[in-house]
Chain A
Amino acid sequence: MENFNYHRPATTAAAVAMLKKAKDGKYMAGGHTLLPTMKQGLAAPTDIVDLTAIKDFSGIKVSKTAVSIKAGTTHMEVATSKDIKKVIPALWEMAGKIGGVHVRNKGTIGGSIANADPAADYPSACLGLGATIETNKRKIEADKFFTGMFETALKDGEIITAVHFPIPKKSAHQKFPNPASRYALTGVFMSQDAKGKVRVGVTGAAASAFRATDLEAALSKDFSAKAIAGVKIKPNGLLTDMHATAAYRAHLISVLAGRAVAAAK
């Protein structure tokens, strides 16, 4: 790892200013992606701006209609929140399946979403629940947030401050882990709102998390495994690597969606 300057601002404004001043600066939340990358010499930022000391940067708030999670909240905090478990049990369950205990203790929701790893779990929850991502500048709908592999709608210097998840009628999360890394080889996050409208967020299968709109249409009409039995997921655009072919991932989306329907609560 190369040497770097370490900053620990107390406000988002200060963080933005520090990053601006840096030659090649990076924000860091839990550091669970950035630090390994730096250790491998794949990234060598001149400055690290640690966001975890920003005042009021973490915390969970549950209202009648939404769960709001501040960006610096760890996966462990979400996975142990009884309030979230009550209203969006799938989100609670999903957070408990991210990485191992050490990762959950340090990794944050904001970091995960900003990094937009194609196999991360949170992006599928954002899409599957229709979340709104709030930054220091604006609010972005999840549907417009994930733009590509490790790419998001965030502008230079923009900081995620919170994620707002509308509370659905039912939700479910199904993950088929990569046998080696335990990241999602394919993961499906599904929700049904009060009007019966269904959202299906998929992660791990493509360059970026996406919504399986064919499944959504079928399930919005009839929320049953039978309704999607005939929906063929096309492998076009899905990833092929040593662990899974595009065809296998397409198949897994169908299988996991079927299981999610059965598990939704």
Chain B
Amino acid sequence: MADTNTGVGASVRRKEDLRFITGKGNYTDDINLKDQTYAYFLRSPHAHATIKSINTAKAKKMPGVVGIFVGEDVAKDKLGGLICGWGITSKDGSGMKAGPHPVLAQGKVRYVGDHVAVVIAETKEQAKSAAQAIVVSYGVLPHVIDAAKAMKSKAQVHEVASDNRVFNWSLGNEEATNAAFKNAAHVTSMDIVNNRLVPNAMETRAAIGSYENGTESYTLYTTSQNPHVARLVISAFHGLAPEHKLRVIAPDVGGGFGSKIFIYAEEVVCAWASKHIGGRPIKWTGDRSEAFLADAHGRDHVTKAEMAIDASGKITGMRVHTIAAMGAYLSTFSAAVPTYLYGTLLSGQYNIPNIYVEVDAVYTNTAPVDAYRGAGRPEATYVVERLVETAARELKQDPAEFRRKNFVTSFPHQTPVIMCYDTGDYAAALDKALEMSDYKNFSKRKAESAKNGKLRGVGFSAYIEACGIAPSAAVGSLGAGVGLWESAEVRVNPIGTVEILTGSHSHGQGHETTFAQLVSTKLGVDINSVSIVHGDTDKVQMGMGTYGSRSGAVGMHAISKALDKIEAKAKRVAAACMESSVDDIEFKDGTFTVKGTDKKMAFGEVALQAYLGHKFNTSEIEIGLKESAFHDPANFVFPAGVHICEVEVDMDTGLTKVADYTAVDDFGNLINPMIVEGQVQGGVAQGIGQALLEGAIYDEDSGQLLTGSFMDYNMPRAANMPHIENFRLGFTCTPCPTNPMGIKGCGEAGAIAAPPAVMNAITDAIGVRDLPMPATPLTVWTAMQSMKKAAE
């Protein structure tokens, strides 16, 4: 390690932040191309309706209008529809029922916000005004909003699914699980709803599509977490252009949280329509209202969950039935979320011999639902940790000790639901969390709160998640349409600076810093001599992108492999230059030395020689210093930890505040502890948001989104967080055995762990068993009122 201050393990300040916080970022909306036009999408005002006719005659004559396109134009051009890239097979062996998802509605609209037409004009305002002049005649159809009612509704969202059921999937041994319940000494049963969330990245989605007549090729700038996947899908499924004629660029992207993984209609339409207006570029920048309506939402599960416990207090079985809303269409990865990212995590940190889970995925007349920070794992953790906490209370056991008694303690551990946990020490995290949160003195703090009219409660969450997604063969066998490896290329310049080209994509994670830290450690160069190139399919050959906390464990692993190749090649060059055998060359802290001599060459000198070719036989050693690698991981990685939350509830109003929060996480080794802490804090903020504040609500009668702006949709703010002095972060470490850095993913843990910790704390505070999220003042007060009534 040349510079201990910038290598792996150092809390290096983020290289990219100066650019971001001084307004010098280069986001899609910052880019303006020559002769650019602007798109506005006319959206459905109805939850479900047939389109009887669309009259664009008047709109076409409006000032500034360049073109108007509707579903018919798309169909005429045989532009393919949006796809779901993960196929799920039902219990009865039938395939999932995927309804068509055209980029502009054809014959029907299926949710408020569905894209009906696009108007392209010289200005944004002109496009919007013209859109208002389009006359659409709708035949309103019955709609269904509530996932729990979808299978019995008279509304039918897609022809292929008569009962609105996309699939009926199961995992685990039903018979053995039923037997475990028969023999149980205690059964805890709960009805659990996981509330629908709107991701709300700071940057709204945007796209610029451009067709070049000369080369017959397209360029698409878009707010994507995985531009190569976008290119693949738009080429192979939409059929817009072959891959070598389509360049996708995702420049700086202002947050994604999953919502920018997916391929959306707007970006496809902008690229496609550009050709139809003579190759003029088309820009679309969604506003916040459109983000609420038409970005893929998260969660929305209705679950019945049961836990069987034997007389000794050991969990012997879990049985779960979930109805998962998919929304009106299957978004890109939607089918994987309530299945292989959910059912496979239902063992939690516990040794549960029998688990059976059944999931009915259903269409509803709402925005599509897909992966959102944690994707399936928050839902699983919420089920497991609410059940475990409730079971402990019912059995009058300390929730910490009940968990400890059931922890998995030997590794590797094969769960009954596919996952094989590689390593961990759950008791270590529990002990540390108990100590950091001063659990033993909780009753003193409770008494103190009571003096101020506040009910104090404590809640645990011992979460595990599987990320670093994932081995290609494994996901392929489970239905993934892609492999989930990652690629890297290392280009060493003649003066020894380094360019890393990666298929991972940074949209807030800090890859420009952390990836450079790895290079710094491995090659002994300063991080400022390293640049990270990503997000452009013309620069980086291929990649799978960033989601599922995979850029560290998978993306950096590929870089690490390529760096090893660089080192090997550089050693050969150094050996030739210093007239010694390669076997005698040692490389440490950026310097090549010949064993047992005082001969040495700096990394930069060797790089220069590699490009000069003066001192070695270029027929034996190729000129240059550039290597690439693909890496396919051997397993998921399994971050785990224990979070303990204390809340104070105002007895008079039901207003709940997180008074104290302790997060102890095992992410293996940390590349940059400061960035990891930020990820935990941000994740916990989103988890607190889900538990206390956020919830997308559609009106059952009208199908309109009621929480369509920040006036009604409550995003977490600084004031909703515990004071930083009462927000403690701790780490334990069992290095991951499947990557050389020993790291696990940290991006989603907070959002996965926090909701049950918060809800367990509130239910402890007010003494109710069941309470829905978000626990708004109204919800908590209503629960306290019904308890009061029941007691009377």
Residues facing A in B120-162 (CB within 8 A) are 125, 129, 132
Count of A residues near B, CB < 8 Å? 17
* Bound CA–CA A255/B650 (angstroms): 11
- B289: nearest residue on chain A (CB-CB)? A40
- B685 to nearest A CB, angstroms? 15
* Bound CA–CA A181/B711 (angstroms): 4
Known contacts being A243-B776, A248-B782, is A179 close to B714, with CB within 8 Å?
yes
A176, B697: Cβ atoms under 8 Å?
A: no
Residues facing A in B674-718 (CB within 8 A) are 693, 697, 706-707, 710-715
- B12 to nearest A CB, angstroms? 34
Instruction: Write the A25-65 contact mask toward B (1 if CB under 8 angstroms, else 0).
Output: 00000000000000011000000000000000000000000
B778, A255: Cβ atoms under 8 Å?
A: no
A245, B778: Cβ atoms under 8 Å?
A: yes
A180, B710: Cβ atoms under 8 Å?
A: yes
A255, B710: Cβ atoms under 8 Å?
A: no
- B710: nearest residue on chain A (CB-CB)? A180
Instruction: Write the B425-450 contact mask toward A (1 if CB under 8 angstroms, else 0).
Output: 00000000000000000000000000
A179, B777: Cβ atoms under 8 Å?
A: yes
B781, A248: Cβ atoms under 8 Å?
A: yes
Which residues of A lie under 8 Å from residue B30 when comparing CB positions?
none
Known contacts being A242-B697, A242-B707, A248-B781, is A179 close to B653, with CB within 8 Å?
no
* Bound CA–CA A41/B707 (angstroms): 18
- A3: nearest residue on chain B (CB-CB)? B125
Q: Is B652 an interface residue (CB 8 A)?
A: yes
Which residues of A lie under 8 Å from residue B693 when comparing CB positions?
179-180
A181, B781: Cβ atoms under 8 Å?
A: no
* Bound CA–CA A2/B776 (angstroms): 38
Known contacts being A242-B706, A242-B707, A255-B653, is A179 close to B776, with CB within 8 Å?
yes
Instruction: Write the B628-658 contact mask toward A (1 if CB under 8 angstroms, else 0).
Output: 0000000000000000000000001101000
* Bound CA–CA A244/B777 (angstroms): 8
- A236 to nearest B CB, angstroms? 18
Which residues of B lie under 8 Å from residue A126 when comparing CB positions?
none
Q: Is A251 an interface residue (CB 8 A)?
A: yes
Instruction: Write the B767-786 contact mask toward A (1 if CB under 8 angstroms, else 0).
Output: 00000000011100110000
Q: Which of A2, A41, A248, A255 has the most CB of B within 10 A?
A: A248
- B45 to nearest A CB, angstroms? 13
Q: Is A71 an interface residue (CB 8 A)?
A: no
Q: Which of B710, B713, B777, B782 has the most CB of A within 10 A?
A: B777
- A41 to nearest B CB, angstroms? 8
* Bound CA–CA A176/B654 (angstroms): 11
- A243: nearest residue on chain B (CB-CB)? B778
- B36 to nearest A CB, angstroms? 21
Contact of A180 among B129, B652, B714, B781 (CB under 8 A): B714
* Bound CA–CA A185/B712 (angstroms): 12
Which residues of B lie under 8 Å from residue A243 when comparing CB positions?
712, 776, 778
Which residues of A lie under 8 Å from residue B652 when comparing CB positions?
255
Q: Which of B125, B289, B714, B715 has the most CB of A within 10 A?
A: B714
Instruction: Write the A116-153 contact mask toward B (1 if CB under 8 angstroms, else 0).
Output: 00000000000000000000000000000000000000
Which residues of B lie under 8 Å from residue A255 when comparing CB positions?
652-653
Which residues of B lie under 8 Å from residue A41 when comparing CB positions?
132
- A254: nearest residue on chain B (CB-CB)? B652
- A182 to nearest B CB, angstroms? 9
Which residues of B lie under 8 Å from residue A176 when comparing CB positions?
653, 655, 777
A181, B778: Cβ atoms under 8 Å?
A: no
- A38 to nearest B CB, angstroms? 12
Which residues of B lie under 8 Å from residue A180 when comparing CB positions?
693, 707, 710-715
**Which size class do B's interface residues fall under?**
20 to 34
Which residues of A lie under 8 Å from residue B706 when comparing CB positions?
242
Known contacts being A242-B697, A243-B778, A244-B778, is A252 close to B713, with CB within 8 Å?
no
Instruction: Write the A167-187 contact mask toward B (1 if CB under 8 angstroms, else 0).
Output: 000000000100111000100
Contact of A251 among B289, B715, B781 (CB under 8 A): B781
Which residues of A lie under 8 Å from residue B782 when comparing CB positions?
245, 248
- B712: nearest residue on chain A (CB-CB)? A180
* Bound CA–CA A47/B717 (angstroms): 37
Which residues of A lie under 8 Å from residue B715 when comparing CB positions?
180
* Bound CA–CA A179/B652 (angstroms): 16
- A187 to nearest B CB, angstroms? 13
* Bound CA–CA A48/B289 (angstroms): 25
- B692: nearest residue on chain A (CB-CB)? A179
Contact of B778 among A1, A2, A40, A248 (CB under 8 A): A248
- A33 to nearest B CB, angstroms? 12
Which residues of B lie under 8 Å from residue A242 when comparing CB positions?
697, 706-707, 712
Which residues of B lie under 8 Å from residue A248 when comparing CB positions?
777-778, 781-782
A252, B711: Cβ atoms under 8 Å?
A: no
- A97 to nearest B CB, angstroms? 13
Which residues of A lie under 8 Å from residue B697 when comparing CB positions?
242
* Bound CA–CA A185/B711 (angstroms): 12
- A91 to nearest B CB, angstroms? 24
Residues facing A in B438-479 (CB within 8 A) are none
Q: Which of B129, B711, B713 has the most CB of A within 10 A?
A: B711
* Bound CA–CA A2/B132 (angstroms): 12
- B196 to nearest A CB, angstroms? 13
- B703 to nearest A CB, angstroms? 15
* Bound CA–CA A176/B652 (angstroms): 12
* Bound CA–CA A180/B696 (angstroms): 12
* Bound CA–CA A1/B287 (angstroms): 13
Residues facing A in B263-317 (CB within 8 A) are 289
Contact of A252 among B129, B289, B653 (CB under 8 A): B653
- B603 to nearest A CB, angstroms? 52
Residues facing B in A172-229 (CB within 8 A) are 176, 179-181, 185
- B654: nearest residue on chain A (CB-CB)? A248
- B64 to nearest A CB, angstroms? 13
* Bound CA–CA A248/B779 (angstroms): 10
Residues facing B in A62-114 (CB within 8 A) are none
* Bound CA–CA A245/B776 (angstroms): 12
- A255: nearest residue on chain B (CB-CB)? B652
- A178 to nearest B CB, angstroms? 8
Known contacts being A242-B707, A243-B776, is A181 close to B712, with CB within 8 Å?
yes
- A259: nearest residue on chain B (CB-CB)? B652
- B129: nearest residue on chain A (CB-CB)? A2
* Bound CA–CA A180/B778 (angstroms): 13
Which residues of A lie under 8 Å from residue B707 when comparing CB positions?
180, 242
* Bound CA–CA A231/B578 (angstroms): 95
- B776: nearest residue on chain A (CB-CB)? A179
* Bound CA–CA A212/B715 (angstroms): 33
* Bound CA–CA A240/B117 (angstroms): 36
Which residues of A lie under 8 Å from residue B125 when comparing CB positions?
1
* Bound CA–CA A255/B785 (angstroms): 14
Instruction: Write the A242-265 contact mask toward B (1 if CB under 8 angstroms, else 0).
Output: 111100100110010000000000
- A258: nearest residue on chain B (CB-CB)? B652
Instruction: Write the B86-121 contact mask toward A (1 if CB under 8 angstroms, else 0).
Output: 000000000000000000000000000000000000
* Bound CA–CA A99/B319 (angstroms): 48
* Bound CA–CA A38/B714 (angstroms): 23
- B694: nearest residue on chain A (CB-CB)? A180
- B649 to nearest A CB, angstroms? 14
Which residues of B lie under 8 Å from residue A251 when comparing CB positions?
781
* Bound CA–CA A170/B712 (angstroms): 34
- A61 to nearest B CB, angstroms? 35
> Given A248-B777, A255-B652, list of 8 further CB < 8 A pairs?
A180-B713, A180-B715, A181-B710, A181-B712, A242-B706, A243-B712, A248-B782, A252-B653
Which 3 pairs from chain A and chain B are nearest by CB?
A180-B714, A181-B711, A255-B652
Interface of B toward A, CB cutoff 8 Å: 125, 129, 132, 289, 652-653, 655, 693, 697, 706-707, 710-715, 776-778, 781-782
Interface of A toward B, CB cutoff 8 Å: 1-2, 40-41, 176, 179-181, 185, 242-245, 248, 251-252, 255
Q: List 7 A-B contacts (CB under 8 A).
A: A179-B693, A180-B715, A181-B710, A245-B778, A248-B778, A248-B781, A251-B781
